[in-house]
Amino acid sequence: MIVTGTFDPVSQKDLEYLKQYRKENNVKDLFVSVSREGILGRYQRQKLLEKALRPYRHLHVCNQEGEPVPAFDEDMIRHGNFRLAADGIQKQLMEDNCYLDQIVDHMCKPARAEHSRRVAEVCVHLAKVHHLDEKKAYRMGMLHDITKKMSDEEGEKILRIFDPERLSISPKVWHSFTAVYWLKENMGLYDPVVLNAIYHHTLGDGKGAYDHILYIADKIEPGRGYDTTRQMKAAEADLASAAAMILEQSKAYILAKEGIHV
């Protein structure tokens, strides 16, 4: 017997349904194929399905069309709840940067989502120049403002439990701290390199190369509306010194805006 689904991506509930379907139809082996339409390409969805079905010896992937089956939780997964994905593919979704566009569009206002994409592009460029992991750079750039739309009340609840010392800082920068909690809880993202860069991206107090990249990219992405050629060249030459320079410029701008001259 053959069944076909979108599996975009395959969820844990999809797996439970397939196992139950096989028993109810009293078949020894159930063959499962991936439909042509989906956000991820068919080949990629098929590979994820193969990985998810690996522990189940009576469920097999095939290429033939069959009886259509419903989708479970797939939209929620594409909005960032990777924990609902099949157990065997959650880590793969993260490593492949799957659905980041959909997650950002769901979690952020349109202008913020476009900002995130531009930041990600700058992060990738700087990572390439400095021979660092471009996939990590893209991931942190896309996800750095993921809780920017969160209310102060919700942010306060999270910080009061997980990071109470940060409550003394302006709520305008809380999103860099709450994002870390959200990414761990919903997407299962525990990469310290990515999380640390996001945590420090508003204050610019990170010490690592990825911390510098995200801080710089957030400040000089093309949508900022001013010429950042000098800052970009500085960042291409030396990340730490460029981050320090941009941090000083940012402080001077804030002081001038408040009418404080030093």
Q: Could you give the domains of the chain?
A: 2-95 (3.40.50.620), 100-257 (1.10.3210.10)
Looking at residue 252, its pLDDT comes to 60
Q: Which residues pair with 241 in a beta bridge?
A: none
| Average pLDDT score over residue span 198-211 | 96
DSSP character at residue 150: S
CB contact at 8 A, 232 and 121: no
What six digits make up the tokens of 40? 């991820």
Give the SS3 label for residue 202. Answer: coil
On the question of a cis peptide bond just before residue 70, with omega within 30 degrees of 0, the verdict is no
Higher pLDDT, 250 or 236: 236
Q: What is the dihedral of CA 182, 189, 78, 213, to 10 degrees?
A: 90
Cα distance between residue 71 and residue 34, in whole Å: 12
213 vs 262, residue with greater confidence: 213
**Cα–Cα distance for residue pair 182/201, rounded to 1 Å:** 16
Compute the distance between CA of residue 260 and CA of residue 252 in angstroms, rounded to an integer: 9
Q: Which of 56, 73, 62, 103 is nearest to 12 (CA)?
A: 73
The pLDDT value recorded for residue 254 is 52
DSSP of 55-71, one letter per residue? T-TTEEE-SS--EE---
pTM score of the predicted model: 0.92
**Would you state the pLDDT for residue 248?**
92
Dist CA 19 CA 13 (whole Å):
10
List, for residues 74-116, the tens digit of each pLDDT value.
Answer: 999 999 999 999 999 999 999 999 999 999 999 999 999 999 9
pLDDT at 221: 96
Is pLDDT of 256 > 90?
A: no
What are the E-state strand segments in the chain? 2-5, 30-34, 59-61, 67-68
How many other CB atoms are found less than 10 A from the CB of residue 257?
A: 8
Contact between 68 and 131 under an 8 Å Cβ cutoff? The reply is: no
What is the distance, to the nearest Å, from the Cα of residue 91 to the centroid of all Cα atoms in its chain?
A: 12
- For residue 191, which phi and psi values (nearest 5 degrees)? -65, 115
Identity at 174, one-letter amino acid code: W
pLDDT digits (tens, 9 = 90+) for 138-180: 999 999 999 999 999 999 999 999 999 999 999 999 999 999 9
Q: Say what the pLDDT of residue 261 is.
A: 36
